[in-house]
Structure formats: structure tokens, C-alpha cells
Amino acid sequence: MAAYFIVNIQITNEVQYQSYRSQVAPVVQKYHGKFLVRGGPHKVLEGDWNPSRLVVLEFPSMADAERFYHSAEYKPLLALRQGASKSSLVLVEGA
């Protein structure tokens, strides 16, 4: 069953974040993931949530998603992202 990372990102260092963006896609692909949403315009239709930048990644399973997130390849990129932004991230299993 597919699994999804849903991430709200507030970029605090654009240069450092661009370095992260330029490196992360091959690592996501290695773990069979793909970007479904990578920023872009959004509209809040209910509630008072005001996300900055939304990112949604899809993986074939929760296990694949967790292998990606905890992988040796992603570890330095995670540190780079966390140093360049404030993020809220959830991993959810699809229907």
C-alpha cells in the first residue's frame, strides 16, 4: 500500500535549500519514491492552516518511505534541509 510524506516547509536559507533540492531527487528515486507536489500555488479551503511550501512524496509502502528517510544517502541531505528550513512532516499510509 502506498505511503506519503506530507511536508510543510518554511525556507529560511534559500541558497542552502537550493543545494538540497538539486541533490534530493536521485535519492528519492533510488528508494522508489516520486514527488507528487513540490511547492507551487495552493489555496486553503477550510480551517486556519497557512502552509508556506507544500511537498508531497509517494513511496510504494511505509517501509520504503522509512528506508529512504533513515538511509545513509539521505542523512546529509536531511541535515542540509533542516539547516535551511523549518519543517513539519508526516508519513501517512494511503487508502
pLDDT tens profile 42-78: 999 999 999 999 999 999 999 999 999 999 999 999 9
**Alpha carbons 43 and 34: distance in angstroms, whole number:** 23
Instruction: Assess if residue 51 is contained within a domain.
Output: no
DSSP 8-state symbol, 85: E
φ, ψ for residue 48, nearest 5 deg: -115, 15
State whether the Cα torsion 76-73-17-12 is positive or negative: negative
What integer best gives the mean pLDDT of the chain? 96
Residue 95: predicted pLDDT: 87
Residue 63: predicted pLDDT: 97
| Cα 87 versus chain centre, distance | 9
CATH number for the domain spanning 82: value is: 3.30.70.100
Q: What is the residue range of 68's domain?
A: 3-46+61-93
DSSP 8-state symbol, 75: H
Instruction: Assess if residue 56 is contained within a domain.
Output: no
In the predicted structure, residue 79 carries a pLDDT above the cut 90: yes
Q: How many domains does the chain have?
A: 1
pLDDT digits (tens, 9 = 90+) for 16-41: 999 999 999 999 999 999 999 999 99
